[in-house]
Amino acid sequence: MTDLITAAQMRGIELAAITSGVVTGLELMERAGRGVVAAIFEEWPEFAQSGGRAVVLCGPGNNGGDGFVIARLLREWGWEVEVCLWGDPARLPPDAKANYERWCTFGAVHPLGEPVFEAAELVVDALFGTGLTRKLEGLEKTALALKGKSAAGFPKVVAVDVPSGLSADSGRYVGETDVDACISADLTVSFHRAKTGHYLADGPAACGRLVIEDIGLDAFCVPEEAVCLAGPNVERLQKRGDAHKFSHGHAFVLCGGVGHGGAARLAARGALRIGAGLVTLGCPPAAILENACQLNAVMLARVADGAGLTEILEDSRINALCVGPGLGSRAETRGLVRAVLLARRASVVDADGLSAFATAPADLFEVLHEACVLTPHAGEFARLFPDIAEHLSAGCTKVDAVREAAARAGSVVLLKGADTVIATPEGRACINAAAYECAAPWLATAGAGDVLAGFITGLLARGFAPYEAAQTAAWLHVDCARTFGAGLISEDLPEVLPSVLRRLHG
């Protein structure tokens, strides 16, 4: 797994390295600057062939110090470089001031008023990086000026660590909801590890392409509470050659009434494709014929009410349950959800299974257990956890919000989105971001979430732990969409899964 860290965690790692005597702050600044220049030339090889004109925007902290190093290195490469500083040079931190003074032996430093971007091929944003936590007057003016000039393709904009105006932790615009308050980069170069804000919310759109440069800090541990990028457990996904269908579990998906079975059928198909040995769809008696006309490998069972469901679940071979997709807002919905959860099996609660408790979330929480996975979208999350959703709107990171929700629910929570976040009650968390080279805009289609619920259910049936099932399913869900590409509809997701699995297994 790829670890992601917060701005504070990065500062802690740097401080530990400097305190140990292994490296100085000046050496880290030099490595960072060299890493940015190397990334620029790798992204645009033509920039390394002949010098051009660059504008380097330096801020009042150590991010600005990186900028002075970058300016010097570009000048040594033959570039004409203009350097602009936000703030008073006398107040620069010691390492940044040392690099400011070194640059001053080569060229002037202009105050950052309205930098001249005309005829510049490259602009380096070394203004604030991870250090900005509040809105600053004047930043919007610079950001808008850059957007206007770069609309035609030049200059190329490179951000150091994170684009100025973006939170390195939450991925949101700092102090604003308007994109115009943040510099938009073509390339963002960060150091040691990606930050959570690179993958959350507006981060991918602001960062352009993301590159992580090594600055020699691998000997210093990533904090235990670090977040990771989701990924599949490839070894566990393979089936044993000596197994039979019950070795891979029996998944049971509850279905809505007549005309409302599509979502549950999508979930059931997803559970079967991902490897559950058997899948049964439980539906009201009146809907049996409708579902029988559209299903073959998925079995059917009559479920009239909660009591009937409890009777079916006396079969201990049914080891994973999915409740919610297309279940509807029937009076008995809550009873069916409670019957599922009181069976104490591995369970996915999705869609209508969550909405049924919107007015009384505590009634849901009292029957949840550690083998459950909740899969809300943003609206369902806000109805179940209104106070946490308010914190999220006020600037709390999505990771912190989902961790708090999981702790309250006592279950794994997967909050869906392009920046899906998954957390356990104990605080483990990962991000499954459909961003950068993993972007999958085709997932914005009806029923995609139902297939995801089915993928998770199928993995639970196969014996995956809830957190592992959720992140593996979320990763496969995105990879299926990317593999299929444009024109995707939800029915395609289970059908493309075999080719994704074949590729993973080599």
Say what the pLDDT of residue 243 is: 77
Average of per-residue pLDDT across 348-367: 97
pLDDT of residue 146: 78
Q: Tokens for 484?
A: 């299929």
Please tell me whether 432 is known to bind a ligand. no
pLDDT at 310: 94
Q: Write the pLDDT tens digit of every residue in 191-245.
A: 999 999 999 999 999 999 999 999 999 988 777 778 999 999 888 898 877 778 8
Is 416 one of the annotated binding-site residues? yes
pLDDT of residue 152: 65
Q: Residue 377 annotated as binding? A: yes
Residue 290 pLDDT > 60, yes or no? yes
Q: Give yes or no on whether 3-222 and 248-504 have one common fold.
A: no
Q: Is 275 annotated as a binding residue?
A: no
Q: Which of 85, 175, 72 is nearest to 127 (CA)?
A: 85
Residue 492 labeled ligand binder? no
pLDDT tens, position by position, 95-123:
999 999 999 999 999 998 766 777 899 99
DSSP string, 62-118: HHHHHHHHHHHHHHHTT-EEEEEESS-GGGS-HHHHHHHHHHHTTS-EEESSS---T
For helices 398-409 and 386-393, give the axis angle rounded to 10 degrees: 170
pLDDT of residue 369: 98
- Comparing CA positions, the residue from 292, 39, 277, 274 lying closest to residue 159 is 39
What HEC string does 119-174 produce? Answer: CCCEEEEECCHHHCCCCCCCHHHHHHHHHHHHCCCCCEEEEECCCCCECCCCCCEC
Is residue 326 part of an annotated ligand binding site? yes
What pLDDT sits at residue 144?
76
Where are the chain's structural domains?
3-222, 248-504
Find out whether 457 is annotated in a ligand binding site: no
125 is in an annotated binding site: yes
How far apart (Å, rounded) are the C-alpha atoms in residues 258 and 313? 23
pLDDT at 153 (0 to 100): 67
At 328, the amino acid letter reads: G
**176 has pLDDT over 60:** no
Q: Tell whether residue 63 is among the known ligand binding residues.
A: yes
Q: Can you tell me the mean pLDDT for 383-389?
A: 98
Residue 419 labelled as part of a binding site: yes
Averaged pLDDT for residues 364-392: 97
pTM summary value: 0.95
User: Can you say how many angstroms the Cα of residue 477 is from the centroid of all Cα atoms in its chain?
Assistant: 13
pLDDT for residue 178:
61
Instruction: Give the N- to C-terminal CA distance of the chain in Å, as an integer.
Output: 19
- Percent with pLDDT over 70 in the chain: 97
Q: What kind of architecture, by CATH, is found in domain 3-222?
A: 3-Layer(aba) Sandwich (3.40)
DSSP string, 464-491: --HHHHHHHHHHHHHHHHHHH-TT--TT
Give the confidence band of 148 by pLDDT, cuts at 50, 70, 90. Answer: low
Would you say 485 is a known binding-site residue? Answer: no
pLDDT band per the 50, 70, 90 thresholds, residue 50: confident
d(C-alpha 297, C-alpha 287), whole Å: 17
Q: What is the pLDDT of residues 256-288, one digit of tens each?
A: 999 999 999 999 999 999 999 999 999 999 999
Confidence bin at 11 (pLDDT 50/70/90)? very high
For 194, the 3-state DSSP assignment is strand
**Is the four-CA dihedral 212, 172, 469, 439 of positive or negative sign?**
negative
Q: Is 169 annotated as a binding residue?
A: no
Burial of residue 438, with CB atoms counted within 10 A of its CB: 0-12 exposed, 13-18 middle, 19 or more buried = middle
What does the DSSP assignment read for 262-303?
HHHHHHHHHHHHTT-SEEEEEE-GGGHHHHHTT-SSSEEEE-
pLDDT at 177 over 60: no
Number of Cβ within 10 Å of residue 257's Cβ equals 16
398 in a known ligand binding site: no
Q: Residue 141 annotated as binding?
A: no
Query: In degrees rounded to 5, what are phi and psi of residue 392?
Result: -65, -40
Question: Residue 324 annotated as binding?
Answer: no
CATH architecture of the domain formed by 248-504: 3-Layer(aba) Sandwich (3.40)
263 is in an annotated binding site: yes
Is 450 marked as binding a ligand? yes
Give Cβ neighbours of residue 504 (< 8 Å, ≥ 6 apart).
232, 234, 237
Say if residue 372's pLDDT is above 70: yes
